[in-house]
């Protein structure tokens, strides 16, 4: 059994880095706060006797030797956060993994297979779109040079910021030898809490796509320009969004439609904007339904553009198809739940995780712990100490099941 | 008659400061570009033998002596621009005034009354809201300490930026002795061009108000959070804006409704925003109609908030009632048009101008010249050389009518 008190203490210590006034965390990827979070994690790994390697995407790999030098068992998640994020999203997975290692160290358990902890760079996608970008490079989904060139709202790139914080490592990205990968994460939704369960066995991840709705009209003066002489992109965007929101219930209870960010250019109070942009996130466990919603959105946006005589279009930013995790890894988690005497359920993740991409190159599964009120990406995000501990215990036993001892 | 060629040359030289790639100007108030524009204007005034004074708001007063030391005749406008503005909005009024002085100098004309040119700080309101803020302080509408504290989107204040660019003068704001004030400006709308007239006699300015629509919900994760558990402020804002736009034609052809800027916080693609803000600009020549539109907007926003279970409210940022200019000043402009043999019409300004506030403390009128395609607050803004010259000639003769020679 893991030491739940030590795990909680470390979660709280990590949460001090980038702590916000409202009790949350702002540790956006590749900022100074992220660097400090990484430094702290590296120190803890060092104290636990692990060997650290860093690759060219800044992904951190902390390795505990096994009796054999064969394929390793991997536990990974991320230390970056949303701009107004919580203490648990990502950090729980990395620190539960560290707690598993500490528990093995304390008990003097040697495993046959080596064990590795990974901290993936930019899982959140909040500062640099898309999300899960470094596990994506690892899995060959993205080209590293393209990813280096991705810029934040201020124009700073991933490549520059990796160098600036001193975490652009030397090792090639990808190609590590993993026989099984596990990620503990908070659920970020209400299902486990609603059912009163301490943990969930994650059998897959829903499909998700990111878009920009871009509408272009003419910049003109807010005062003297008659309404019927305007090509006002705000009007078309408002009409389109209003119609899309109204359409979403037609796709059933699992459909998700989110506009996370809005921009008007030039963004001056007394000028009709020349261009407005809305970011869109669409999700559904069935990729076909994601495509249906996309088609409806594209049609509605085009119609609104036509009606108001502006250029209106939908640009795809990122697409991540639905994922089914590896049966044997899922089975190891179920077995761990039995060993620990924990009631669980099988579930589909509503959020994306690095495990989505890792599942393409290695057998993978995930473990969820409940989120209070189903809330995440919010400073009020909370998971109880006992639930975090339960998640770490499931991870411990799933890893032992695969690593052999 | 003024020297139209010299006026045009100076307009083009001024437009090089902050020139944009698309042929427009970005000379936002109190930036380095604004400082360079001010420096150039100050040099030209110096070369024309004028005496310069700067007040605590950075307003610049360039004075030509009269035979008497009595009340002056003032000509003023502004050198700041929109973020993607044109070469004429503001600059024409300042440089036409300078051209009037040069013409009097060239012809060796002494006037009875002194003549002053004013360059007002932050007319546009694009970087710091509201607009016309320094003529407002001059007229006692705003308190100077409140205005110093107004911040731009990056948190820099008017007070700091005035000091930084070295234009926080020593003189008290207000209290100069003016018998008549004139401002030449581009129309920024389509009326003069539609009627084929070279100039307009501006008898008043329509009422205008600025607001923020603020909608607050809950930040939650875009993936796992069911739609019916969300308090999504974007949905309520889209519904409200769509309904308001549809309502505006009910207020007749002179009603104006503009959303110039949009903001989502925290502005992360995979997080439902906790708060969204839309800036609103409402105008109508009749203040009663402005109030009716405001009431309808306030009702629609509240209903959308209620329907979608979010906090939705309208905050007033600024209100500028409709203005009627001084009859005798308007008559001087009409007389000047006769003297110059120019066809004109009486009109109401759709845009706000420093003359709106100056009209509260001194007799004031304005002169409009046509805007190509009615376009302003756009890099494509254009007024023909002949029209700019005609405006300056009207200014010359209106000033001579009041200053005596
Ligand atoms: N777990 C998590 O918040 N991941 C971010 C990627 C996503 O938007 O689902
Ligand atoms: N003339 C002009 O563009 N003034 C800015 C103030 C307004 O919004 O009308």
**Shortest alpha-carbon distance between residue B228 and chain A (Å):** 9
Query: A363-393 burial, b if ≥16 CB within 10 A, otherwise e?
Result: bbbbbbbbbbebbbbbbbbbbeeebbbbbbb
Distance from residue A6's CA to the centre of ligand 2 (Å): 61
Three-state SS for A153? coil
A375/B contact by beta carbon, under 8 A: yes
pLDDT at A405 over 90: no
Task: From B219, B266, B269, B270, give the residue whose CB has the most ligand 1 atoms within 8 Å, as the site to mutate.
Answer: B270
Minimal C-alpha gap between B126 and chain A (Å): 5
Q: Mean pLDDT across the stretch A69-75? A: 97
Q: Is B196 close to ligand 1, i.e. is its CB under 6 Å away?
A: no
Tell me if B224 CB under 6 Å of ligand 1. Answer: no
Residue B261, pLDDT > 90, answer yes
Task: State the average pLDDT for chain A.
Answer: 98
Q: Name the closest ligand to CA A188.
A: 1
pLDDT in tens, A37-62: 999 999 999 999 999 999 999 999 99
Judge whether residue B85 has pLDDT over 90. Answer: yes
User: Cβ(A351) to ligand 1 under 6 A?
Assistant: yes
pLDDT, tens digit, for every residue of A145-194? 999 999 999 999 999 999 999 999 999 999 999 999 999 999 999 999 99
Ligand nearest to the CA of A270: 2
* Proportion of chain B above pLDDT 90, given as a percent: 100
Do residue B376 and residue A260 have CB atoms under 8 angstroms apart? Answer: no
Largest CA distance in chain A: 79
Is B365's pLDDT higher than 90? Answer: yes
Query: From the CA of B210, which ligand is nearest?
Result: 2
How many CB atoms sit inside 10 A of residue B13's CB?
A: 12
Which of A224, A227, A277, A353 to probe by mutation at the B interface, max B CB count within 10 Å? A224
* Cα(A376) to centroid(ligand 1), Å: 10
Query: B241 in contact with A at a CB cutoff of 8 Å?
Result: yes
**pLDDT at residue B149 above 90?**
yes
Q: How far apart are CA B219 and CA A378, in angstroms?
A: 5
**Mean pLDDT across chain B:** 98
Using CA coordinates, name the residue in chain A closest to B187: A224
Residue A344 has phi, psi (to 5 degrees) of -135, 175
Query: To test ligand 2's pocket by mutation, which of B88, B94, B124 has the most ligand atoms within 8 angstroms of CB?
Result: B124
Helix (H) or strand (E) segment spanning residue A84: none
Tokens of A147: 């990813």
Angle, helices A4-15 vs A91-107, to 10°: value is: 140
B270: nearest CB among A266, A377, A379: A377
A283 contacts on B by Cβ (under 8 Å): 222-223
Average pLDDT rounded to a whole number, residues A322-351: 98
pLDDT in tens, B335-356: 999 999 999 999 999 999 999 9
pLDDT digits (tens, 9 = 90+) for A307-329: 999 999 999 999 999 999 999 99
Q: Is A187 in the pocket of ligand 1 (CB under 6 A)?
A: no
pLDDT digits (tens, 9 = 90+) for A102-131: 999 999 999 999 999 999 999 999 999 999
Count of CA atoms in the C-beta half-sphere (13 A) of A283:
28
Give residue A351 CA to ligand 1 midpoint distance, Å: 5
A-to-B residue pairs, Cβ atoms closer than 8 angstroms? 281
Residue B261 touches partner A, C-beta closer than 8 Å:
yes
pLDDT tier at A394, thresholds 50, 70, 90: very high
| A353 within ligand 1 shell (Cβ under 6 A) | yes
Q: Does residue A262 have a pLDDT over 90?
A: yes
Give B160's contacts (C-beta < 8 A, 6+ positions apart).
Answer: none
pLDDT at B327: 98
The pLDDT tens digits for B40-65 are: 999 999 999 999 999 999 999 999 99
Residue B70 token pair: 């009595």
- Strand (E) or helix (H) holding B185: strand B178-186
- Cβ neighbours of residue A80 closer than 8 Å, sequence gap 6 or more: A27, A28, A29, A30, A34, A37, A90, A121, A122, A123, A124, A127
Per-residue pLDDT of B216-250, as tens digits, reads 999 999 999 999 999 999 999 999 999 999 999 99
Contacts of B374 (CB under 8 A, 6+ apart): A220, A224, A225, A229, B187, B188, B189, B190, B191, B193, B194
CB-closest option in A224, A261, A375 to B268: A261
| pLDDT tens-digit map of A209-261 | 999 999 999 999 999 999 999 999 999 999 999 999 999 999 999 999 999 99
**Token representation of residue B109:** 């004309």
pLDDT at B405: 86
As a whole number of Å, the end-to-end CA separation of chain B is: 15
How far is Cα A67 from Cα B309, in angstroms, rounded to an integer?
59
Could you tell me the distance, in angstroms and rounded to a whole number, from the CA of residue B322 to the centre of ligand 1?
51
Ligand 1 pocket, residue A124 CB under 6 Å: yes
| pTM exceeding 0.85 | yes
Interface test with A, best of B122, B202, B220, B281 (most A CBs within 10 A): B220
Chain A contact for B91 (CB, 8 A cutoff): no
Closest by CA to A354, choosing from A122, A57, A92, is: A122
Q: What is the DSSP letter of A212?
A: E
Query: Which residue owns the Cα nearest ligand 2 atom 8?
Result: A270
Interface of A with B in 297-316 (CB under 8 A): none
Provide DSSP, A292-329.
HHHHHHHHHHHHHHHHTTSEEEEEEEEEE--EE--HHH
Contact of A335 with chain B, judged by CB distance below 8 Å, is answered with: no
CB-based contact B268 A249, cutoff 8 Å: no
Indicate which of B124, B186, B222 best probes the interface with A, i.e. most A CBs within 10 Å of its own CB: B222
Q: A303 contacts in B (CB within 8 Å)?
A: none
Pocket of ligand 2 (CB under 6 A): A 221-223, 270; B 89, 123-125, 131, 188, 351-353
B169 phi, psi to nearest 5 deg: -75, -175
């Amino acid at each position: 059994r893991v030491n739940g008190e030590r795990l909680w203490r470390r979660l709280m210590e990590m949460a001090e880095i980038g702590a916000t006034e409202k009790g949350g965390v702002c540790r956006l990827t590749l900022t100074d706060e992220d660097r400090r979070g990484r430094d702290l994690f590296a120190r803890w790994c060092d104290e636990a006797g692990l060997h650290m390697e860093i690759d060219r995407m800044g992904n951190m790999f902390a390795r505990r030797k096994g009796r054999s030098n064969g394929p390793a068992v991997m536990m990974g998640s991320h230390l970056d956060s949303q701009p107004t994020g919580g203490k648990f999203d990502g950090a729980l997975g990395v620190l539960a993994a560290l707690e598993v290692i500490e528990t093995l160290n304390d008990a003097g358990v040697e495993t046959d297979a080596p064990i590795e902890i990974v901290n993936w760079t930019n899982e959140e996608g909040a500062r640099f779109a898309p999300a899960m970008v470094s596990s994506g490079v690892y899995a060959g989904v993205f080209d590293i040079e393209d990813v280096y060139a991705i810029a934040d709202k201020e124009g700073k790139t991933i490549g520059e910021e990796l160098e600036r914080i001193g975490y652009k490592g030397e090792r090639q990205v990808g190609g590590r030898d993993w026989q099984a990968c596990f990620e503990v994460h908070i659920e970020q939704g209400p299902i486990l809490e609603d059912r009163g369960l301490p943990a969930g066995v994650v059998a897959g991840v829903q499909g998700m796509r990111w878009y920009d709705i871009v509408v272009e009209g003419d910049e003109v003066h807010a005062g003297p320009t008659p309404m019927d002489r305007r090509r006002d992109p705000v009007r078309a965007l408002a009409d389109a969004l209003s119609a899309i929101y109204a359409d979403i219930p037609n796709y059933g209870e699992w459909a998700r439609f989110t506009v996370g960010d809005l921009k008007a250019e030039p963004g001056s109070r007394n000028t009709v904007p020349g261009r407005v942009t809305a970011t869109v996130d669409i999700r559904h466990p069935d990729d076909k339904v994601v495509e249906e919603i996309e088609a409806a959105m594209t049609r509605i946006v085009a119609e609104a553009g036509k009606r108001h005589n502006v250029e209106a279009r939908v640009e795809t930013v990122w697409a991540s198809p639905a994922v089914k995790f590896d049966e044997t890894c899922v089975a190891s988690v179920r077995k761990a739940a039995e060993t620990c005497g924990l009631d669980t359920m099988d579930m589909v993740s509503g959020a994306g995780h690095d495990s989505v991409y890792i599942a393409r190159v290695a057998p993978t599964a995930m473990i969820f712990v409940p989120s209070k009120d189903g809330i995440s990406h919010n400073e009020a995000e909370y998971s109880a100490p006992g639930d975090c501990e339960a998640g770490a215990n499931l991870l411990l036993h799933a890893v032992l099941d695969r690593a052999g001892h």
